[in-house]
Structures are given as C-alpha cells and as structure tokens.
Structure 1
Amino acid sequence: MRRIILICLVSLFAFPFHTMAKVVKEEKNVYSFEMMEADLTRLQQTLPIEVHSIGKSEKGRDIWAVKLGKGKKSILLVGAHHGREWLTTHLLVKMLEQYGMAYEKGKQFGGYSTKLLDEISIWFIPMINPDGVSIQQGNLSCFSHYEKIVTWQRNNYSIDWSRWKANAKGIDLNRQYPAGWDEVKTDISKPFYQFYKGKKPFEAVEVQVLAKFTKHIEPLIAVSYHTSGREIFWHYHNKQEHMARDYELAKKTAELTGYKLSKPEKHAVGSGFTDWFITEFERPAMTVELSYLVEETNPPLSVFPEEWKRNRLVGMMLVKEAVSGIK
C-alpha cells in the first residue's frame, strides 16, 4: 500500500515540478549555477586566472575554485553556503572579473595596486552549494521522481522553494563544521530545508571538499559571504593574542561596506565555516552578510548594485592587509 501511495504521489507531482523548472530557466531575476559556469568559461578565455574543479556536489555538479594572482600565499573568499544566498556568487564573480581586468592591465583598482596579487593571490569559490542554489531556484531536473517527492517533504510540503538553504540531502552546510558542532541545539533532527546540522561534522560532501581545499592552500584570511542583514561576524574563540589583529581587520571591512560590526557573544555557538577556520588556523575570518534583511528567501537581484558598491574593494583591501603581515 505504501508503495502504491508513493507511485501516485510521484505521478501527481512530476508534471508541476517539471513545469516549474522550465519556468525558472527562463527567469531573469536569478543568478544560477549555469550562469556562473558560463561566466567562468568566458573569463578563463580573457583573464590570467586558474579555474579548477575541486570536487563534486551531492548531485555531481562541479565545485569551482578560481585563483587570481601569482602569490604562493593567498586569501579565500567563499559564496553560497546556502541555497538562497546566490547573490553572493554573483558578487564574487564580478569581483573576480573586475580585479582580473585591472590586474591584467597593471592598473590600480579603487586606489589599491593590483601588483599586490603577485605576492598574495585570491582564491574565489563562488558557489560551494550548487545543488542547494538550483533547488532554491526551482530547478529539480537532476532529481529522480522519487527524490523530488523526498525533497518536497523536506521543504515542509511546499513547492515554494525560495526559502531553501540546505544541500540536496537536506543538510545545512554552515552547521557542518566541528568548531562548536556539539553545542548547536536545534529542533530539526532530520533532513530539512534549513537548520539540520547532520549526524556528524563534515558529513556533507560539499563541506568535505571545502575543508580539504582550505587545508591545502592554508589561506591567511577567509571570508564567507552570506545574506542577509548587512552585518559582519568575526569572533569565535579567537585567541587573546590575536584579538586586536582580527578586530582591526573586521573594523576596516565594516568601514568599507558600511555594515554593522557584530559584538562578540560570550557564549557564541559555532559550527560555521569561519568558526572552524578561526580555531583551525588561528587566523582571521569573517562572515559577511549582504543585503537588507529579507528573512526566509533570497534578496532581490535589484539590490545587487548597492551591495557591489559596498563590497567592491573588500578583496583588494584584504590582500593589502595580508601583504602587510598577517601570518
């Protein structure tokens, strides 16, 4: 009987899912995984960059990392840990393009010498959660009919995908890191569209890929871009001897962006990428939230010009700070 019910459900929802996916592909108000790949292919043909697939997502999509600069040491900028945060991908790809064009021509960018990239490179990972982004945009084309039903259940039986944060298995990637994972308390005990931390740290393949790559390049600074709230989080059990250094870097980022600088919480709960980075490498890291607060959805693409204006110099500023002596 259960099998018959599932077959009926699959038949019932197969057509709506297919139709919605087709509509989303025609939608102009998103920045998708496919659009990112097309942009990276185009930029690879015109700019002095290295483009690498550093692993695969749960559904087999490439996780792309792009290096700009000749420096053996680097900083790392990561976007789209969450499905509904694809605006961060758009920002990082534009940052890559604008910095790359200036670097190729030997020009300054916003008063910063791009020759600094000969000493410290920038690694961009524009979209660490490509499956989650695709789901959030209504593209479930890589799922079987049965998987569509399971995903629909994880979306609390709604076909409004705009609030989706998790990866394809219903795991919230930014609750997957070991720093503070045990202390994270949640009512979500199984795969869901948000907040499910998994059965153990590093369970999600996307997080495994990012952690392995981060350990490989050992960046001097890491930034994880999210949305929303226009706020910067920089503190998680930072050692006392690093407090002034890390605060000053966060303060400079806040001054550039006009974002609120979050006050350290005495009993902060971690499990995010930057929490892990701070404790693992004892180097500065920030979680930067783009856009005004939008609650459980993506910020509109119309906010992008404002967020680009606020963040356009962040990468080069961090490179200059790294050159100045962050070790």
Structure 2
Amino acid sequence: MDISVRRGDTLWYYASMFNLPLRLIIDSNPRINPNALTIGQTIRIPGYRSISYQIQRGDTFWKLATDRNITLDALYLLNQNINANNLQIGQSISIPSRVTSRVVFGKQAYDSSTLGQDLAELFRIYPFIRTESIGRSIMGKELTELLIGRGSQVVHWNGSFHAQEWITTPVIMMFLNDYLLSLTNQGAIRGLQMNPFYDRITLSIVPMVNPDGVDLVINGPPSGPRGEEVLELNNGSTDFSGWRANIRGVDLNNQYPAKWDVEAERKPDQPGPRDFPGYQPLTEPESIAMAELAGNRQFAKMLTFHTQGKVIFWGFEGLEPPESETIVNEFARVSGYRPIQYVDSFAGYKDWFIQDYRRPGFTVELGKGTNPLPLIQFDEIYQEAIGIFLASMYM
C-alpha cells in the first residue's frame, strides 16, 4: 500500500499507526532516508492493501475507522484530498486493509507462470522482499532469488531442481507466504515468533531452479524447434510426467563436480528424460547459476527440496561438518523423516556444496510415492515440511 507523506509524518509514526515493526517499513523503502521525509513523498507500507469504498448513508470517518479497527488518522492519511466533514453518498474513498490471509494457493498445478503471478503479488504486499536475477534458463526464463531478512547468516532453500518434482515449489512458496504474514501481523508459527528470525538470518530462496522442465511436465512441449527436440528425446511421447531433466535433457542435480565422473560412468551418456549428467560438469545455465549463487552468498546452511521418500540426505564423503548431524536429527524430530548420511549417488548440489564449502547441506525428499506426487498429498507434505523450514532457521 502506498501513502503520501504529510508535514510532520515519520516512519516511526507510520509503524505505530499501522502496528508494524519499524524495520519492515524501512526495508520496504530502501531509497528513502528515514530521517529526512519530504512532503508528498511516496512511502510503501507492507502488509496492507488500499481498498476502494463507496460512502453509505450515515458514514463518517470516525464510524468507518471504529468499525474496521483502524486509526482515524489512517483514513485521513489515505484520503488527503477528501473533505471528511462533507462526505457524499456514493463518494469513493480509500480504506487501509491489513492482509491477514494467504495469497499463495499451493494445491494446484504450479508452473512458472503461476510462480510469477504469486511472486508479483507478494512483492506488491511485502515490498521488503529483495529479489535478484541469478540467471536465465535455456528458454530464457528468469531464475529468481528472493532475499528476506537482515541477518548476516544466510540460510538457503531451493525447489524444483527436477521437473517432475515441481510440488516442492508451491510448498516453499506457501511457507514463505506464512512467514511474511507472521512478520507483518507479529504472529507465530507453531508457537515460534517470527520477527526475531528476520533480524538474525537472511533467507535466500530460489523457488524454481528448473522452470523449463516444470512447464514441460505440467503443460507439455513448447511450440517450435525446442518442442520438436524434446519430443524426440522423449521417444515421441507427449506424456512428460516422468521428465526430470531440463529442457535440453540434462539432469541438473547430476551436474556438479563432486564425483561427477563416477556418476557419468553409470548414468545415460545421451540427453533424455532423466539422469543424464551432461557431457561435463556445469554445462547448463541453471546449474551454473546455482553454483555461482552459493559462491556469492556463502550460505551458512543449504536445503534443496526434492521428492520423494520422506528421508533427508545430509552427508558427503565424510566432509560434512559435525553440526550437520545435530541439525538433521532436529529435522527428523519435527518432520518424522528419516536421516540418511550417505547414499551411493553423487554429483548433486548438496554433495558439491558440502565438498566445496564444508557447511551443512541437506537434500530433503518430501512425501512418498511415485513422482510426480499427486496434489492429494499436498496438505500432508506441507505440514511435515513446516517443522523443517522452522528448524533450518533456528538451528
């Protein structure tokens, strides 16, 4: 919600008026000097929408403010050109409305277009979210990183490395929405107040690593030469439900130089729906972008969300730090998932992260069944994942 500064207004006053943490207002207006507001300057207020209302018989600003549990001055602030003492029936005014419910609805086929729509709405309501473009997919779709928080410790989550595992993206997005709601409404998730986390950590989130692959699984092949090529890679079948790779037939989670040569020896040697690690490590723009992001952000810990199995992989060749075991045991406690230290599979993002940075890295396999997991499992998966998200923030 945008407002216009009046004489004598301060960000502190707005925080009090709208019952918001001051730091969220400051972070929503990064180009504004908090100590030097100017009359007429536009300020963004997070966690609110401005809604249009038509004056009814008997309405006054006092009545409207009382009925909606908002301050009288909030109405004056949003309606500076309105004569409050001479309201006319049918006249349109603006009323601030606190956002108290989700705008992300995860229980649906969630392609890159749906993600883009949800991100745009979250950015409008919560302008303290920072975004970075970390690269583009083969088909030119932007790979977006979200940054939330002020802390020096960066905790990273990502989803949809594998196309058919796209359900991981709406799970991440719905928790993000709940976190933002808690910050702006000063609420709790499972008894934990969220505002202290905003000051202590910075969340780095790439909700969809493989947008071309996700769109392929959900919507079918694109038109043009790229669609023809991918149909050929899929043996002419228009059923892409089993597709894991990017649009070029490379498995993005087999692309990392962490015993890549071992994987290459036993995996397909040509592009296809799944498991092809590429002709060498880090050939794909999506995997390159994620590798560069890890170097730029220096994550304190990293969680990559996949499906399925209700297990959490947490080690690589004995290079994981001692605290990884403590953390994964907490993940197991709050989710019911089984920790697995080592597995005979290499060249994944988690493997490479542990190898190169010697910090806690985890592959969380959400849900159980045959990929792509059916949406009927979504609510159960989300409830299991909540504890993992929270634990990754406080451990």
Same fold (TM over 0.5): yes
Q: Distance in 1 between matches of 2:291 and 2:318?
A: 19
2:359 corresponding residue in structure 1: 283
2:310 matches 1:310: no
Given the alignment of the two structures, is residue 272 of structure 1 paired with residue 348 of structure 2, yes or no? yes
CA distance in structure 2 between the partners assigned to 1:159 and 1:139 by the alignment: 7
Provide the rounded CA distance (Å) in 2 between the counterparts of 1:254 and 1:60.
38
Contact 2:164/2:243, CA 8 A, preserved across alignment: yes
Match in the other structure for 1:324 = none
Partner of 2:275: 195
The question of whether the paired residues in 1 share the 8 Å contact of 2:220 and 2:239 is answered with: no
What secondary structure is seen at the aligned counterpart in 1 of 2:270? coil
In the other structure, the counterpart of 2:162 is 82
Is the alpha carbon distance of 1:73 and 1:180 closer, same or farther for their aligned partners in structure 2, counting shifts above 3 Å? same
Q: Match for 1:189: what amino acid? A: D
The yes-or-no answer on 1:118 pairing with 2:196 is no
The structural deviation recorded for 1:104 is: 2.2
Match among 151, 169, 172 for residue 230 of structure 2: 151
Cα contact 2:220–2:238 (8 A) shared by 1: no
2:213 matched residue in structure 1:
132
What SS class does the counterpart of residue 77 from structure 1 fall into?
strand
Counterpart of 1:161 in structure 2 is: 240
Question: What per-residue deviation string (whole Å, max 9, x for no partner) do you get for residues 109-153 of structure 1?
Answer: 222232122111111111000000011113433x41x33222112
> Structure 2: how far apart are the matches of 1:187 and 1:128?
22
Corresponding position: 1:234 with 2:234: no
Q: Which amino acid aligns with 2:384?
A: R
**2:300 alignment partner, one of 220, 231, 247:** 220
Contact 1:51–1:64 (8 Å) recurs in 2: yes
Contact 2:162 2:252 in 1 (8 A): yes
Which of residues 230, 247, 255 in structure 2 aligns to 1:176? Answer: 255
- 1:104 & 1:112 partners in 2: Cα distance? 14
Q: Does the CA contact (< 8 Å) of 2:213 and 2:244 recur in 1? A: yes
2:178 equivalent to 1:98: yes
Aligned equivalents of 2:267, 2:349: Cα separation in 1? 21
Partners of 2:180 and 2:311 in 1: CA distance: 27
Of 112, 125, 144, the match for 1:46:
125
Q: Return the TM-score normalized by structure 2.
A: 0.70
TM-score (norm 1): 0.84
Which residue identity does 2:369 align to in structure 1? Answer: L
Indicate conservation of the 8 Å contact 1:30/1:137, yes or no. yes
Q: Give the structure 2 partner of residue 107 of structure 1.
A: 187
CA contact (8 A) 1:232 1:250 kept: yes
- Give 1:174 shift: 0.3
Which has the higher mean CA deviation after the structures are superposed, 102-111 or 211-220?
A: 102-111
Q: Which has the higher helix share?
A: 1
Provide the C-alpha distance between the structure 2 equivalents of 1:34 and 1:70, rounded to a whole number of angstroms.
Answer: 29
Stretches of structure 1 lacking an aligned partner (at least 5 in a row): 1-27, 322-327
Q: Secondary structure at the residue paired with 1:222?
A: strand
Distance in 2 (CA, whole Å) between partners of 1:254 and 1:33 is 30
Distance 1:149 1:55 in 2: 25
**For residue 260 of structure 2, what is the amino acid of its counterpart?**
W
* Coordinate RMSD, CA, aligned: 1.6
Per the alignment, in what secondary structure is the counterpart of residue 219 of structure 2?
coil
